[in-house]
A and B are shown apart, each in its own frame.
Chain A
Amino acid sequence: MGEYSTLELTPEQSAKTRLVDGIATDGDIELLGDVDVSAAVSLRDDLRWALLQSDAPSIAAQVMARVGAVGADVGGVVRDEAGLEDAVVASVMGRLGVDEGVGSQLRGALVQEAGSAPSLWAEIAPSVGAEAPMSLGDMLRGAVTEEVGNDFVPSPWFAPQRNRWAMGAAAGAVFAAAAALLLYVGLAGGGDQVAEATMGPLLEAPVDIEELDAGDNQAVQVLQFGSEAPTIILIEDIDGEAP
Chain B
Amino acid sequence: MAMTDQERGSGGLPPDDPDALMIQAVLDGDPEAYRVVVERYERRIYYVVYGMVRNPEDARDIAQDAFVKAFQNLHRFRLESKFYTWICRIAMNLSIDHLRKRKHRNHAEFDDMRGGSDGAQVVRLHSKRDDPSENVSRRRMFKTIMDAVDDLPDDQRQVLVLRELEDMPYKEISEILGIPEGTVMSRLYYARRRLQKVLAEHRPS
Q: How far is the CA of A4 from the CA of B185 in the complex (A)?
A: 12
Closest Cβ–Cβ distance, residue A4 to chain B (whole Å): 4
Given contacts A9-B182, A17-B185, contact A64 B38 (CB under 8 A): yes
Q: Which residues of A contact B161 (CB under 8 A)?
A: 51
B20 at the interface (CB under 8 A from A): no
B179 at the interface (CB under 8 A from A): yes
Q: Which residues of A contact B196 (CB under 8 A)?
A: 39-40, 43
Q: Across the interface, do B149 and A60 meet the contact criterion of CB distance under 8 Å?
A: no
Q: Which residues of A contact B165 (CB under 8 A)?
A: 47-48, 51-52
Q: Which residue in B34, B132, B188 is a CB contact (below 8 Å) of A54?
A: B132
Q: Across the interface, do B46 and A59 meet the contact criterion of CB distance under 8 Å?
A: yes
Given contacts A7-B190, A16-B189, A50-B145, contact A69 B31 (CB under 8 A): yes
Q: Which residues of A contact B186 (CB under 8 A)?
A: 5-9
Q: Which residues of B contact A39 (CB under 8 A)?
A: 196
Q: Which residues of B contact A112 (CB under 8 A)?
A: none
Closest Cβ–Cβ distance, residue A132 to chain B (whole Å): 8
Closest to B164 in A: A47
Closest Cβ–Cβ distance, residue A21 to chain B (whole Å): 7
B172 at the interface (CB under 8 A from A): no
Q: How far is the CA of A69 from the CA of B43 in the complex (A)?
A: 20
B84 at the interface (CB under 8 A from A): no
The segment from B4-12, B64-72, B109-117, B118-126 that touches chain A is: B64-72
Closest Cβ–Cβ distance, residue A201 to chain B (whole Å): 36
Q: Which residues of B contact A44 (CB under 8 A)?
A: 164
Q: Across the interface, do A1 and B155 meet the contact criterion of CB distance under 8 Å?
A: yes
Q: How far is the CA of A14 from the CA of B184 in the complex (A)?
A: 11
Closest to B143 in A: A50
A58 at the interface (CB under 8 A from B): yes
B187 at the interface (CB under 8 A from A): yes
Closest Cβ–Cβ distance, residue B99 to chain A (whole Å): 10
Q: How far is the CA of A4 from the CA of B188 in the complex (A)?
A: 13
Q: How far is the CA of A63 from the CA of B33 in the complex (A)?
A: 12
A62 at the interface (CB under 8 A from B): yes
Closest Cβ–Cβ distance, residue A156 to chain B (whole Å): 34
Task: List residues of A (47-90) whose CB comes within 8 Å of B's CBs.
Answer: 47-60, 62-64, 66-70
Q: Which residues of B contact A63 (CB under 8 A)?
A: 34-35, 38, 42, 64, 67-68, 71
Closest Cβ–Cβ distance, residue B184 to chain A (whole Å): 9
A20 at the interface (CB under 8 A from B): yes
Q: Across the interface, do A66 and B187 meet the contact criterion of CB distance under 8 Å?
A: no
Q: Which residues of A contact B63 (CB under 8 A)?
A: 59
Q: How far is the CA of A141 from the CA of B200 in the complex (A)?
A: 72
Q: How far is the CA of A70 from the CA of B154 in the complex (A)?
A: 36
Q: Which residue in B39, B72, B132, B182 is a CB contact (below 8 Å) of A53?
A: B132
Closest Cβ–Cβ distance, residue B102 to chain A (whole Å): 15
A218 at the interface (CB under 8 A from B): no
Q: Across the interface, do A47 and B32 meet the contact criterion of CB distance under 8 Å?
A: no
Q: How far is the CA of A67 from the CA of B72 in the complex (A)?
A: 8
Closest Cβ–Cβ distance, residue A208 to chain B (whole Å): 34
Q: How far is the CA of A58 from the CA of B149 in the complex (A)?
A: 25
Q: Interface centre among A13, A47, A69, by most B CB within 10 Å?
A: A47
Q: When A and B form their complex, which 3 residue pairs have the shortest distance between CB atoms, in order from nearest?
A: A69-B31, A50-B145, A56-B43
Known contacts A21-B188, A56-B50; 15 additional CB pairs below 8 A are: A4-B177, A9-B189, A47-B145, A47-B195, A49-B142, A50-B141, A54-B130, A58-B42, A59-B42, A59-B63, A60-B39, A63-B34, A64-B32, A64-B34, A67-B34
Q: Give me 30 A-to-B residue pairs in the complex whose CB atoms sit less than 8 angstroms apart, sorted by A's number.
A: A1-B96, A5-B183, A9-B189, A14-B189, A17-B188, A21-B188, A39-B196, A47-B164, A47-B195, A50-B141, A51-B50, A51-B146, A51-B149, A51-B165, A53-B133, A54-B50, A54-B130, A54-B132, A55-B132, A56-B47, A58-B39, A59-B63, A63-B34, A63-B35, A63-B64, A63-B67, A63-B68, A63-B71, A67-B71, A67-B72
A interface, CB within 8 angstroms of B: 1, 4-9, 13-14, 16-18, 20-21, 39-40, 43-44, 46-60, 62-64, 66-70, 119
